Amino acid sequence: MNPSSIFLFALALAGLTQAQNAPVANVESARKMVEGPCTECHGQVVKGDATAIFTRADRRARDHESLVKQVHACGTQLKTPLFPEEEEHLATYLNQRFYQFKQ
């Protein structure tokens, strides 16, 4: 590997490390999604306060990875597929707002 390749590789690794710990890239978009279609569906499921689905004792998500999977499952169930990065944004937003899992 030449020096410029090593530098680019190191830069890419640093970027990945930062991205894992970064706040939601598009927090406003994630918030609107959670407060819109997510809230509508969750309100029907819990028959009341939609945010209770995130804070209930028997919630499905137990870590960040399972939260991302649950976001994916919700999109699939509603037939509103999301791009993987959108799922990650939503999961990160939900984690910051409700779950506080270590990533």
pLDDT one-digit tens code per residue, 43-55 = 988 898 998 998 8
Quote the tokens at residue 16.
């990945």
Alpha-carbon gap, residue 63 to 60, rounded angstroms:
9
pTM: 0.70
Domain membership of residue 73 (yes or no) is: yes
Total residue length of the chain: 103
Distance from the first to the final alpha carbon of the chain: 32
Does a structural domain hold residue 87? yes
- The domain tally of the chain equals 1
18 inside domain: no
Within a domain: 52? yes
In terms of Cα–Cα distance, which of 73, 54, 51 is closest to 62?
54
**Residue 9 covered by a domain:** no
Residue 74 lies inside a defined structural domain of this protein: yes
pLDDT recorded at residue 11: 36
What does pLDDT average to in each consecutive run of 10 residues of the chain (103 residues)?
40 39 67 88 89 88 93 88 88 92 83
Domain around 61 = 26-99
- Is 69 within a domain? yes
